[in-house]
Structure formats: C-alpha cells, structure tokens
C-alpha cells in the first residue's frame, strides 16, 4: 500500500535503458489510476543513467521533502570497466572514439590502481552529464558541439574491490560518496593504467541503508 496522505518511500529496480524520469512517470500513472488521486508530489532521490540499472528511491507526498537527505547517503555500485577503448561519454551511449593497447596491463597493476583511488580524490564530471554550466546542462552544450570546461570536485571512495579480471574487462564493486560519477572513474582508471577505459555495465546496489534486494520491479506497478 502507498500512503499518499502521510507520504511513502518506494524502492524500485530501474530497468536498462529507462530514464529515472520514466520510472517516476510509471509510478505516477499507477498511483493515479489505482488510488484515484489526481494531484500529489512525487520525485526520485538520485538519477541513474539510462544504461545503468539498480536501486532508485522514489519519494511520494511528504517524503519528497527528504529527497536531499537520501541523495546525500553513501552509494554502492557494481559493474564492468572495459580497457583498451574510450567513448566520448565514458559508457556505451556513444560509439568508441579511440583505442589503446592493454596487453601490457597485469593483474597487479589493476589491483594497485584500484587501491590508489580509495580515499578523497578530485574528480571531473563527464562532459555528457547533468552538471550545470552557466545555467545549461553540460550534455546540452556537448550536443551543440560547444567547448565546455568542467570543474573538478572532491569525492570519497571508501571501497574499491576488483571482483574479477578477464582482460579487457574488469569487474568491480565501488562504495562512494554523493556526486560520484562511475563513468569518470572508468576514464581515470584507464588513464592510470596507461591505456583507456569505458563503462560497459553498471548497477546501483545500495543507497545508505536501502538495498536493491528490497526493491520492486516496474512491472509490479501495472494498473
């Protein structure tokens, strides 16, 4: 049951290729038709890229006032970096633009570089991101082929586990602070290995105390 009057939190497993906004609209439509409510507040706490899957917190009613609180919580992700190639957006949304050698990279190199990312680091967001530059989203300027200089910011990576190495692919688990772009970690990871890299899989498994295993699938909200 969804408590519209007092507010609710709904954990949803965002499907591949869906935008976070599409998930919100799906739930909004479901609530309107199932509960007969025409007007209510609804929003999500932390955008996931279309090619990412995993945990999305949907806030309804009074809980929309807590969106910033949920956004500030620590995040956990699992995924795969592919070494030896880059894309303009650092994931699979755009085609490969450059290829690099990766045969020289050893397992020890990968483990060493992963460990070097742990702690507070400076990170520059991807050009294809929702970061605002002079009132416009960076991805809007990028699509207009305008030159954009994005400022770096401090983030914290508290855990960086290399789960499996099968070159050119590296499977990982990362626990990080608010505002971390895993796509940017892919770029920086490749550079640190004297190669290139991009993100080919990403799933958000946890936001603070909220876990993906407790989330619902969008098809459970069909009216």
- β-pair partners for 10: 58
Q: Please name which of 59, 58, 51, 96 lies closest in space to residue 77, comparing C-alpha atoms.
A: 51
- β-pair partners for 86: 98
Q: Please name which of 67, 96, 80, 108 lies closest in space to residue 164, comparing C-alpha atoms.
A: 80
Whether 184 and 126 have beta carbons less than 8 Å apart is answered as yes
Indicate the DSSP class of residue 101: -
What's the rounded Cα separation, in Å, for the pair 10 and 14? Answer: 12
Q: Which residues of 160-169 are buried (b: 16+ CB within 10 A; e: fewer)?
A: bebeebeebe
What's the rounded Cα separation, in Å, for the pair 137 and 133? Answer: 6
Give the active site residues: 49
């Amino acid at each position: 049951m969804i408590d519209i009057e007092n507010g609710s939190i709904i954990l949803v497993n965002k499907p591949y290729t869906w935008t976070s906004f599409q998930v919100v609209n799906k739930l909004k439509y479901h609530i309107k038709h199932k509960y007969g409510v025409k007007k209510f507040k609804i929003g999500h706490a932390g955008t996931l890229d279309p090619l990412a899957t995993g945990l999305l917190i949907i806030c309804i009613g009074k809980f929309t006032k807590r969106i910033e609180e949920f956004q500030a919580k620590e995040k956990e992700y699992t995924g795969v970096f592919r070494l030896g190639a880059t894309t303009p957006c650092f994931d699979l949304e755009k085609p490969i633009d450059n290829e690099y050698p990766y045969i020289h990279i050893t397992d020890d190199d990968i483990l060493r570089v992963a460990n070097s990312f742990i702690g507070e680091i400076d990170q520059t967001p991807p050009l294809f991101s929702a970061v605002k530059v002079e009132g416009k989203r960076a991805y809007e300027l990028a699509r207009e082929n305008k030159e954009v200089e994005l400022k770096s910011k401090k983030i914290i990576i508290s855990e960086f586990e290399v789960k499996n190495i099968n070159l050119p692919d590296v499977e990982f688990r990362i626990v990080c602070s608010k505002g971390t772009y895993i796509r940017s970690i892919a770029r920086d990871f490749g550079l640190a290995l004297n190669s290139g890299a991009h993100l080919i899989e990403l799933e958000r498994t946890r936001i603070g105390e909220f876990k993906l295993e407790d989330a619902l699938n969008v098809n459970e909200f069909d009216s």
